Structure 1
Amino acid sequence: MTTARDIMTPGAECAGAEETVTQAARKLTELGVGALPICGTDDRLKGVITDRDIVVKVLGKGKDPAKVLVKELAQSEAVTIGADDSVDEVFATMTSHKVRRLPVIDGHRLVGMVALADAARALSDPKAGQLLEALSTD
């Protein structure tokens, strides 16, 4: 059985909950990624910040990214996948929550990220098409 651990990108870096959005944007740029998990000082996952969040929730509303803290953009509950969960579970979670990226956790520890492309490569052709269709609709 192929698991989330098998298809994830390991060693995901976090945006600290107490960092500014400007700091998170720099980290996104340096890493060349579109999303970062948000980690609290307690080393627990608080959510995910995306480049789109920065544009829509901060810049688009005229807020100063140097004054807005990353924790202000965290969702009420982070959607995650367990490292040993199957690719089918990754598919189901992405589809039901309409997310394109999932932090992968082992216990409470962040161990990687699974992106839509990772899941699509691991799924059979029909399931990959279903996933893309589910995430492309409103």
Structure 2
Amino acid sequence: MTTAKDIMHSGADWIPSHETLDRAAQLMRDLDVGALPIADVDERLTGILTDRDIVVGCVAMGHDPAQTTAAEMAHGTPRWIDAGADVDDVLHEMQEHQIRRLPVIENKRLVGMISEADLAQHLSDAQIAAWVERIYATG
């Protein structure tokens, strides 16, 4: 059985919820990633911050990224998957919620992220085709 841990990109980093978006953007640049999980003071997942969130939700709205926090951008219920979950569960979670990045949690700690690139490297062409059809569906 292929698990979430088998296909994830390990070494994902949190951004604390109190951190500003300019610092988040710098961290994304330094880590060469487009998304960061947002953590509260107890290191619990409170959301995901993407580079698009910073641009569209902050800069394009005329807000100052040096004054806007990651917590202000965390909306909705954060989605995640257990490290031991089967790859079919990973695909279902991403498809069901139409998300492209999924944090992987093990023993209540962030251990990695699964992105489209990770799926492409580890899944069959048929699995990828079905996932793309569902995740990018417009209706």
- TM-score range (shorter-chain normalised) is over 0.9
Q: Distance in 2 between matches of 1:42 and 1:103?
A: 17
> How does 1:79-94 map onto structure 2 within 5 Å?
79-94=79-94
Q: Distance in 2 between matches of 1:48 and 1:85?
A: 20
Q: RMSD between aligned alpha carbons?
A: 1.1
Q: Distance in 2 between matches of 1:113 and 1:63?
A: 28
Aligned twin of 1:114: 114
Indicate conservation of the 8 Å contact 1:36/1:50, yes or no.
yes
Q: Distance in 2 between matches of 1:123 and 1:32?
A: 23
Indicate conservation of the 8 Å contact 1:87/1:122, yes or no.
no
AA matched with 2:63: K
Aligned twin of 1:59: 59
Q: Distance in 2 between matches of 1:57 and 1:13?
A: 22
Q: Give the gaps of 5 or more residues in structure 1.
A: none
SS of equivalent residue, structure 1 residue 18: coil
SS of equivalent residue, structure 2 residue 75: coil
Q: Give the gaps of 5 or more residues in structure 2.
A: none
Indicate conservation of the 8 Å contact 1:16/1:41, yes or no.
yes
> How does 1:1-40 map onto structure 2 within 5 Å?
1-40=1-40
1:130 to partner: Cα distance:
1.2
Identity of paired residues, percent?
Answer: 45
1:116 to partner: Cα distance:
1.4
1:121 to partner: Cα distance:
2.9
SS of equivalent residue, structure 2 residue 36: strand
Aligned twin of 1:96: 96
Aligned length: 138
